[in-house]
Amino acid sequence: MKNNTNVDNQEVKNEKTFVFDEKSCPVTATMQVLGGKWKAILINAIYLTSPARFGELKRSVKGITQSMLTQQLRELEDDGLISRKIYAEIPPRVEYTLTELGLTLSPIMQSMAKWGEEYRMKKQ
Partner DNA sequence: AACATTAGTATTGTTTTTCATACTTACACA
Partner DNA sequence: TGTGTAAGTATGAAAAACAATACTAATGTT
Chain contacts with its own copies (rule: CB under 8 A)? 15-16, 18-21, 25-31, 33, 35-37, 40-41, 44-45, 48-49, 56, 60-63, 101, 104-105, 107-109, 111-120, 122
Query: What whole-number distance in Å separates Cα of residue 84 and Cα of residue 87?
Result: 10
Tell me: does residue 3 bind DNA (CB under 7 A): no
Tell me: does residue 53 bind DNA (CB under 7 A): yes
Tell me: does residue 90 bind DNA (CB under 7 A): yes
Query: What whole-number distance in Å separates Cα of residue 14 and Cα of residue 8?
Result: 10
Binder among 38, 40, 98, 102 for DNA (CB under 7 A): 38
Contacts of 42 (CB under 8 A, 6+ apart): 57, 61, 69, 72, 73, 76
- Binding partner of residue 21 among DNA, its own copies, none, CB under 5 to 8 Å per kind? its own copies
Beta carbons of 61 and 46 less than 8 angstroms apart: no
- Starting from the edge strand earliest in sequence, which strands make up the sheet with 93-98, in order? 52-53, 93-98, 82-87
Tell me: does residue 109 bind DNA (CB under 7 A): no
Binder among 27, 91, 119, 123 for DNA (CB under 7 A): 91
- Choose between 74 and 114: whose C-beta lies nearer to DNA: 74
